[in-house]
């Protein structure tokens, strides 16, 4: 079963990448794709579309989808909460404040740094609220949702007041959009995201211990409070960079980890690489649907992920509420 699941995930990734590269206003067949790759000078127009538009966008979608999914997996493990995700907990909203500050200050090259700072700010606010009172999982989720709305609304207000000409661009970006990523930010994305992925996988045992609960974690020699802060920083880095590329893409980090656990089980040694591949594939397919379903109009990818993710979120919310009696 597990071997079949691994084969299914690898196949899904290949199909998603091929679909994303081939689909657009003009659809390329796999055969034509081979011709473009083998003889790019004979297909200069198609080569330009392929190498300068479609492949970078598919790569961007994969990085954002995998990053948000992995951050959701980490948060669900360390908080032992099936509803934990960077968007729902307000971490993405915090990143948007940092990005708004970077835009206003004209520091476009440093947008990922501002996004990371905003993510950490949101995490600190969440941890401060949790430390004042012993909050239930449901209350923490509700605070995160409200933080996300507050941060996003404030960011949009600041951009509206100080840069009116960018209002519509900001609105679309806040809905989650892959069409306006900065190529310079995308080029250096692997330098930040891939090491974060590697560190997460290297410490998969720690996430397994976290999943057992605080009492068992302490019994096994892990200090959950200290280690939790390190994982929050890693999550903030991943989320901040993903938001700087694509805006607020919601619910990917909620849906994908649950789907992966159904396929490969709860062992993080397997769920981490599987989540990266499935999350990246999901957002590639969602973005392909967003840019082809009503051509030539392009729907923000956050609309597609929000539609499917929102339905699953309500289902999980009701299921969790019955267990925990919120």
pLDDT, position 180: 79
Give me the mean pLDDT over the 209-222 stretch: 77
Residue 170 sits in a domain whose CATH number is 1.10.3470.10
Which of 6-15, 72-81, 102-111, 146-155 bottoms out in mean pLDDT, i.e. has the lowest?
102-111
Which of 64-73, 212-221, 261-270, 312-321 bottoms out in mean pLDDT, i.e. has the lowest?
312-321
**Cβ of 36: how many Cβ atoms within 10 Å?**
19
pLDDT, tens digit, 9 for 90 and up, residues 129-161: 777 766 666 677 788 888 888 888 888 787 777
Domain count, the chain: 1
Tell me how far apart the alpha carbons of residues 174 and 131 are, in angstroms, rounded to a whole number. Answer: 30
pTM for the full predicted model: 0.89
- Does 322 have pLDDT greater than 70? no
- One DSSP character per residue, 248-303 reads ---SHHHHHHHHHHHHH-S-HHHHHHHHHHHHHHHHHHHHHHHHHTTTTS---HHH
pLDDT, position 125: 86
Strands (E), the chain: none
Q: Which residue has the tokens 């708004």?
A: 100
- Does 62 have pLDDT greater than 90? yes
Is 298 exposed, middle or buried (CB count within 10 Å of its CB: 0-12, 13-18, 19+)? middle
Give me the mean pLDDT over the 223-232 stretch: 83
Residue 48 to residues 44, 51, 180: CA-CA distances in angstroms?
6, 5, 17
Tell me how far apart the alpha carbons of residues 263 and 251 are, in angstroms, rounded to a whole number. Answer: 19
Q: Are 157 and 178 in contact (CB under 8 A)?
A: no
Q: What is the mean pLDDT of the chain?
A: 85
| Cα dihedral 288, 290, 291, 294 in deg (nearest 10) | 130
Domain coverage including residue 300: 2-324
Name the nearest CA neighbour of 139 among 79, 185, 187.
79
Is 257 exposed, middle or buried (CB count within 10 Å of its CB: 0-12, 13-18, 19+)? buried
């Amino acid at each position: 079963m597990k071997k079949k699941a691994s084969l299914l995930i690898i196949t899904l990734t290949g199909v998603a990448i091929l679909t994303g590269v081939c689909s657009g206003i003009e659809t390329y067949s796999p055969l034509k794709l081979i011709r473009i790759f083998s003889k790019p000078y004979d297909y200069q127009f198609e080569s330009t579309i392929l190498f300068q538009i479609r492949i970078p966008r598919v790569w961007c979608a994969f990085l954002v989808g995998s990053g948000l999914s992995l951050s959701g997996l980490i948060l669900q493990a360390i908080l032992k909460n099936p509803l934990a995700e960077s968007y729902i907990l307000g971490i993405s909203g915090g990143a948007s404040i940092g990005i708004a500050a970077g835009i206003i200050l004209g520091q476009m090259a440093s947008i990922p740094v501002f996004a990371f700072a905003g993510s950490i700010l949101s995490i600190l606010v969440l941890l401060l609220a949790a430390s004042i009172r012993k909050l239930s999982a449901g209350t923490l989720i509700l605070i995160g949702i409200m933080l996300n709305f507050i941060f996003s609304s404030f960011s949009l207000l600041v951009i509206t007041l100080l840069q009116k000409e960018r209002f519509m661009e900001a609105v679309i970006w806040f809905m989650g959009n892959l069409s306006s990523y900065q190529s310079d930010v995308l080029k250096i994305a692997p330098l930040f995201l891939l090491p974060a992925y590697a560190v997460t996988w290297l410490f998969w045992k720690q996430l397994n211990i976290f999943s057992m609960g605080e009492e068992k974690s302490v019994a096994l020699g892990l200090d959950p409070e200290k280690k939790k802060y390190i994982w929050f920083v890693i999550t903030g880095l991943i989320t901040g960079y993903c938001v700087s590329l694509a805006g607020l893409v919601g619910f990917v980090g909620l849906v994908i980890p649950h789907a992966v656990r159904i396929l490969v089980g709860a062992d993080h040694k397997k769920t981490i690489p599987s989540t990266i591949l499935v999350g990246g594939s999901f957002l590639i397919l969602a973005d392909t649907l967003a840019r082809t379903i009503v051509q030539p109009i392009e729907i923000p990818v956050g609309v597609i992920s929000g539609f499917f993710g929102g339905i699953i979120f309500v289902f999980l919310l009701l299921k969790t509420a019955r267990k925990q009696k919120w």
